[in-house]
Amino acid sequence: MSHVPAAEPAADLDARLEDDPDRAGDREDDREDRDDRVVGVGPHPLPWPDDPRYDPELLAEGDRRNVVDGYRYWTREAIVADLDTRRHEFHVAVENWQHDMNIGSVVRTANAFLAREVHIVGRRRWNRRGAMVTDRYQHVRHHATAEEFAAWAAAEGLPVVGIDNLPGAVPLETTELPRRCVLLFGQEGPGLSEAAWAASQTVCSIAQFGSTRSINAGAAAAIAMHTWIVQHVPASELPPSGV
């Protein structure tokens, strides 16, 4: 009888991947592989659709990815191409100097709200934990410094809106965000760096009513992106829920 190696314990796998930030994005794939929950859909009944957007392997074996029903069985390339036809006009940028674990969450939220691009400012390698593989469906651009990022934004004619509770910041709740803009977020803890602050034409703060001085960077990013959606996406364009 052949020997089948035992599955690597989840805790051991997490610890091993934690030591290598570049592999953090693989964590979710490995978790999906060892997840016994039934998600998605099974094999597509015959006859199969005659459409190049469909992936023959997914049609045959089923599609267990975390995608909306309209993209079931589609290739990743086809999904990205379709998303590109309707991406919103805001970009998201986040500073990355300390392999902040919140960056993955920011990327996942950018995918949910269909940001045009995600920009990583600082270190090229970023911790993909929390992205839940959604970075595969986003366009991610790297800028080595805040100054390089600011020069790119200026060349594109995109105003930079920093999000941080800094002196002189204006309330996000009463600010009309530009339709075309970049929402810029700092690291968890220190917030926007001085260079990122200088690159921002406007800085918006998020009203907080409790005892803490700040909220999680991933949560702040979600609030700011949703604020843009509320201001610029008419009710007639809202997608149905539960799909």
- According to DSSP, residue 238 is labeled P
Q: Burial, 42: exposed, middle or buried (Cβ in 10 Å; 0-12, 13-18, 19+)? A: exposed
* pLDDT > 70: percent of the chain: 83
Q: What is the pLDDT of residues 56-69, one digit of tens each?
A: 999 999 999 999 99
Closest C-alpha to 186, from 235, 120, 230, 111? 120
Residue type, 221: A
pLDDT above 50 (res 186): yes
pLDDT in tens, 137-156: 999 999 999 999 999 999 99
> With a threshold of 0.85, does the pTM exceed it?
no
- Summarize the confidence of residues 225-243 as an average pLDDT: 91
* Least confident stretch, 26-40, 112-126, 222-236: 26-40
From CA 34, how far away is CA 243, in angstroms rounded? 25
Mean pLDDT for 199-213 is 95
In angstroms, the CA 113 to CA 135 distance is 13
- pLDDT given for residue 37 in this prediction: 62
Q: Decide if pLDDT at 48 tops 60.
A: yes
